[in-house]
Chains A and B, each alone.
Chain A
Amino acid sequence: MTRISVSVDGATYTDDVEPRTLLVHYLREQLGKTGTVVGCDTSNCGACTVHLDGRSVKSCNVLAVQADGHDVTTIEGLAQGGELHPMQKAFHECHALQCGYCTPGMIMQSIDVLNDNPHPSEQEIREGLEGNLCRCTGYHNIVRAVQQAASSTGAQA
């Protein structure tokens, strides 16, 4: 067991974890951050995407011990003071989700896309989301949502 101290969605957690524990399993099972989900075992699907020190990562592809001393933001930490993040709002308003399973990862990555490039073209949005799979929406409305978020806010993570 290794002692780690991680800031997640604004709170600091100190825990003993096995080195083999993946960040996503630590978030879900030890912290109850079940908004972040697991969709594959090869790092293709991106459902587990969170922000680590402000950059998007696949939390299945990071060990919990590697997050020691770092700052993690999950889908559950986006809304501030009861106010949805503009990207969450855009996903709702553009009907960019159906079953919702890919949604947490998709939203986290979409925010990262705009952080990198506040005014992306449609193709840049599509390429920015190439590490996230969705089976319901055909991506059409996800792209619309990112476009809406970009035009309404610029990029604020």
Chain B
Amino acid sequence: MIPASFAYTAPTSLSEALSALAAGGDEAKIMAGGQSLLPILRMRLNAPSTVIDLSKIEELRGISEDGDHVVVGAMTTHSDVVTSELLQQHATLLVQAVKEVADPQIRHRGTLGGALAHADPAGDVGAPALALDCEFMIASQDGSRRTVGAADFFVDLFETAVGEDELLVQIRIPKHTGWGAHYEKFVRVKHQWSIVAVGATVRVEGETIAEAKIGLTNMGSTPLRATAVEQALIGKPATDEAVREACAAAADGTNPPSDLNGDSDYRKHLATVLTRRAVLAAAAG
């Protein structure tokens, strides 16, 4: 319950943070909201020599509009995401999913960028970010910025495209204005991480699904897109029967974990059921 000793620095600008990261080398650890990092440190599962706290960098916070995108600073808290009218309007799926992250106290401190960069496959932010085709702006040591698409951002369990001496600074979300959305999370008790969750956002024209985007949580070492289902849904009526048929393949190609909460087969089954429910709810709303 008491972390090992570490040095602490709280830079007030991005460039200071990058310098601190370079200076800290392998032993430095970035802290965004700290809601996953601090438990790790308390239980001494990790003992960095330096903790670089990003919470004082104002330029990393905030939600704004940029043409066809909504731009979210990496240090924007979950509770700011949840209460953002801009995101509610243009990226409903993200708001729905972030409402399901941990609990209110954690959402007050935890940040969207922190959770994305932590890349816990059972976390609730990866699948919607993937489904919404988010772009991730990453700052490098030389002052340059590069943008990585969602498909390339999630590399493996707890691993992203953010390099060792880089920082995630912005999440750029293409507007999905008018799309219905639903995040269907399955847990045994409410304070758990997702056993499986499915985020679906769909554009309905008349009675028909015109486009669908579906992200799966905890069905592999990274968030996954259910692309076959997305394809199968196009042009289908938003009826139970049609959606059920299209979602039957939701777990194809996935490799979910087995643990206390359920084995791999059970998770695959859940994914198909939850995908159907998420799509139907998204289409209805």
Asked if A and B form a direct contact in the complex, defined as CB atoms under 8 angstroms apart, the reply is yes
Q: Which residues of B contact A42 (CB under 8 A)?
A: 39, 43
B109–A61 CB distance below 8 A: yes
B106–A131 CB distance below 8 A: yes
Indicate if B128 sits at the interface (CB-CB under 8 A).
no
With contacts A61-B109, A130-B103, A131-B103 taken as known, whether A66 is within 8 angstroms of B55 at the C-beta atoms is: yes
Interfacial residues, chain A to chain B (CB-CB below 8 A): 2, 18-20, 22, 25, 38, 41-44, 46, 49, 52, 55-58, 60-63, 65-66, 109, 112-113, 116, 127-128, 130-133
Question: A131 contacts which of B8, B42, B79, B105 (Cβ < 8 Å)?
Answer: B105
Indicate if B190 sits at the interface (CB-CB under 8 A).
yes
How many A-B contacts if CB must be within 8 Å?
90
Q: Which residues of B contact A41 (CB under 8 A)?
A: 1, 39, 42-43
- Residue interface bits B16-43, CB-to-A below 8 A is 1, else 0: 0000000000000000001100110111
Indicate if B4 sits at the interface (CB-CB under 8 A).
yes
Question: A56 contacts which of B34, B39, B104 (Cβ < 8 Å)?
Answer: B104
How far is the CB of B224 from the nearest CB of chain A, in Å?
26
How far is the CB of A119 from the nearest CB of chain B, in Å?
17
B103–A46 CB distance below 8 A: yes
A128–B104 CB distance below 8 A: yes
Q: Which residues of B contact A44 (CB under 8 A)?
A: 191
Subset of 17 A-B contacts with CB under 8 Å:
A19-B5, A19-B51, A22-B3, A25-B2, A38-B1, A41-B42, A42-B43, A46-B103, A58-B105, A62-B38, A65-B10, A109-B104, A112-B104, A131-B102, A131-B106, A132-B103, A133-B191
